[in-house]
Chains A and B, each alone.
Chain A
Amino acid sequence: MIETLGIAALERVEASGRFARFFARVVSTSASSCGRRATYPLVWNQMNIIGVRSVPVIMITGAFVGMTLAIQAYDQLAGMGLEERLGVLINISVVKELGPVLAAVMLAGRIGGALTAELGTMNVTEQIDAIKSMGTDPVGYLVAPRVLACLLLTPVLIVYADFMGIVGGAFISIVQLSINSSPYWSFSASGIELWDVSVGVIKGFFFGAAIAVISCYKGFTCRQGAQGVGQACTEAFVASFISILALNFAMGVISKAVYNTLWQPKVLI
């Protein structure tokens, strides 16, 4: 029993060490890639795959988040006669938490899975070894462009999700629930600050980096065969999902502490 636990613990520590080394290599390689013009076409190509093609699904996600929040919160606020403040609740939830987190989760599924499957297949068919054998660093050629594309575009995609969440929430509140639009927008504008939007967007950099690094790592280290690639995709999504939630919590704590240090805590209602 103790031996089994010890072996399992050692394996975890070793796996963590391997991931830490990979992460450090990705950071240094990505940083140096920024200064090389040869990297730009690769990043541009990945931006198209990762960013542009994700816009529709991210916008749909954002819209449904806003609409669902409106439906769920209306009864509670209407019971207290505060239905005109529904916009504050919806929009601050969307821009600070639900928009970034759900957009990132959607990206982890759409992009993370694809990255792991692509790199995993390249790994098992020796294409990554082929890149190495031709004197090219596979981390620089394959991982850095994907990480940079995710890092740069996840915040942009979060803005799209936020926008559609706000539009979706307003649509249900004003059209479906017949809330007066003027107080709805005026309370929303007074309740949400640039800080709230910025926190959500800043989270995007961390979420994007986490999704890309974890997915690429799982692809690079996947076991042989179709089952190995499939398992790596599952592990990549689970690890990305947990990382997104953990990072969101950590950034929530940090942003709140920073806000409370700089300004007075605000009361929305």
Chain B
Amino acid sequence: MTQPPSRIEPIAVTARTATTAVGPGTGPLLAALRTGRGGLRPCAFDAYPGTRHVLPTWIGEIDGLDAWPVPDALAAFECRNNRILELALAQDGFADAVARARARHGAARVAVVMGTSTAGLLQGEHAYARRDGEARLPADFRYMETLNAASTARYVSARLGLEGPAWCVSTACSSGAKAFAAGERMLRVGLVDAVVVGGCDSLCGTTLHGFDALQLLSDSPCRPFDASRSGISIGEGAGLALLERGGPDTAARTLVRLVGYGESSDAHHMSAPHPDGAGAERAMRDALARAGLVAGDVAYLNLHGTATPSNDAAEGRAVRAVFGDRAFASSTKGWTGHLLGAAGAVEAVIGMLAIEHGFAPGTLNLRDPDPACAGAVLADAVERPVPVAMSNSFGFGGSNCSLAFAAAAR
């Protein structure tokens, strides 16, 4: 067996934002989590030119993206995924905070690590629909700036005028969480002085029909940890955070602190979790070890909680093994849908909001908790101090990541 990881120094989160179907920025997200007003609706997403085929499922679609084209200077990046980023960067003063970090540290000392699974896949689907008589792609299709997975990090870096390393983690539904881990490591070795981390994914035909092929789509709004849960609702969105090394210099602008992360692999199956949740358990235990915390310190856990029968069963088992029997956790996918490569980043921000605002969100659409796995799960939000929050993200290929955050001053 391998040794548990050593404790790490806390990292300062000096800006954060999230944009999902419930609205742009953390204001609408916080209000939605407190009122129980979700962002899912029946799928009418016209992803497939030439057909009007839609799936009998519910989705978390962001409205109003027509009003958020990418700027002319970056026109090559024009696609739905980068429009979501354009909208997200403008919220919560995020782009301004990064501009101040760039001024403090220099553009070359600010890196970007973004999680994505789709990037601009929709743009590729549309370009293929416009192939000419010889099956050539249209001349205006910009592959590297839209469809290629790295486009997500390249857009954020270019849009914010940054010159440090910029790349994507693409590990399916753990991507957005693993970006935080990679960002922490860059800061720890002194490679850079600030890192923009996060995740962004957008609706497209491939993910909707791919999850349909796996029979993992719910025909109603997803019901995480409910006894009658029947699959996921796919959403789109972006979560972003600005990480800097902690200490007296950053204390005044620190909103919360990233205190730990854990990463593991199931080594079991490409598209199903290990039934024992062993990999998930190791990710949570490693996050606690890096944070120098014990399970009892965690006041809120944002579950991966996709609402597939197998995910919630395995995750429930893993959570019980680490934390025992207490109700302190929830899945927020009933509000946003499953954001795939962005899920880990948006749910990290939800963990931060729980700390900043002193409440543990509930689980939308949970009516009949599954006794086999819902022991830790809160159906309704609870107003109470949250000094430490964790977030779980698990993906295809058995890729697991847990993040731990703590209040700015403890």
Q: Do A and B come from one complex?
A: no
Chain B residues at the A interface, C-beta cutoff of 8 Å: none
Using a CB–CB cutoff of 8 Å, the interface residues on chain A facing chain B are none
